[in-house]
Amino acid sequence: MLRIEDLKVNYGGIEAVKGVSLEVPQGEIVTLIGANGAGKSTILRTISGLVKPSGGKVFFNDEEITGLIPYDIVSKGITLVPEGRKVFPDLTVLENLKAGAYLRKDDIKPDIEWVYSLFPRLKERSWQAAGTMSGGEQQMLAVGRALMSKPKLMMMDEPSLGLAPLIVKDIFDIIKTIVAQGVTILLIEQNANMALQTANFAYVLEVGRITMTGQGKELLNNEEVRKAYLG
């Protein structure tokens, strides 16, 4: 579904991504793990069009989408749940969901109901300003907001960041539910343990390069991965 070939990105004067190739097949969860500063976020920001690559190509369903603006990327069905959630703090929960459906012209009511059924907590708080909610609730909203664009591919940047373990488990359960409903997931995480348990396939990224690939469960048992990322 998503294919990246030899992607290179300069960010703040340094080459943050140094030729990365990876593939995300339809209907699966693929994860990209790596330490802080390895270039994970930069890859997602490049795919979503916020950052322009300096080399390489990105394909979505065999169509080249390299360097398109975010508007076009969202229109094609790719969405990003950004790092740190980034809900719009003074918009209500409902308005945040509407912002997620910004490009849609069809009826969004069924999808609002769908998101509310995935996250009943959001329904209770639909009139509350998003900035007043807890971190876990904001993460749910960020995921719900991304789903409102009816994505084919949802990219998630560190969904577990700063959340209590119990809530992290909830979020990952939801990720599995979303995949079961036909959305493909590209997930980046520092919480390698959780990510590898959930993902079908995983890439390990180190200072801008892929150093290892394999099935999620396989890497979970890999000695090097265990030492570097699982402690």
Partner 1 sequence: MSLYEFVLANLMSGISIGGQYALIAIGYSMVYSILRLINFAHGDVFMLGGLFMVFLAATFPLWVAIPALIILIVALGFTIERVAYKPLRTAPRMSVMISAIGVSYLIQNLALYFTGGLNRMYPNIPWLSDPITVLGVTTRRVTVVTPFLVIALVFALVWLINNTKIGIGMRAAAKDFDTSQLMGIKINSVISMTFVIGSFLAAIGSILFFTSFPGVFPAAGAMPGLKAFVAAVFGGIGSIPGAVIGGLLIGVSETLIRGLDVILGPANLGIISRPLELATFSDAFTFILLIVVLVFKPTGLFGDKPTDKV
Task: Note the residues at the interface with partner 1 (CB under 8 A).
Answer: 48-50, 69-71, 74-75, 79-80, 82, 86, 88-91, 95, 98-100, 102-103, 129, 131-135, 138, 145, 149, 162
Q: Among residues 142 and 199, whose Cβ is nearest to partner 1?
A: 142
Give me the sign of the Cα torsion angle 178, 142, 215, 222: negative
- Minimum gap (Å) between residue 220 Cβ and partner 1: 30
Q: Among residues 99 and 179, whose Cβ is nearest to partner 1?
A: 99
Q: Among residues 17 and 108, whose Cβ is nearest to partner 1?
A: 108
> Which residue bears the tokens 């599995």?
176
Rounded CA-CA distance 219/32 in Å is 12
Q: Among residues 74 and 174, whose Cβ is nearest to partner 1?
A: 74
- Minimum gap (Å) between residue 39 Cβ and partner 1: 18
- Minimum gap (Å) between residue 102 Cβ and partner 1: 5
Rounded CA-CA distance 144/80 in Å is 11
Structure tokens at 37: 């500063």
Nearest C-alpha neighbor of 196 from the set 17, 33, 2:
33
Rounded CA-CA distance 23/1 in Å is 7
- Minimum gap (Å) between residue 37 Cβ and partner 1: 19
- Minimum gap (Å) between residue 215 Cβ and partner 1: 30
- Distance from first CA to last CA of the chain, Å, rounded? 33
**Sheet (strand 29-33) strand order:** 78-81, 153-157, 184-189, 29-33, 201-206, 209-215
Q: Among residues 86 and 217, whose Cβ is nearest to partner 1?
A: 86
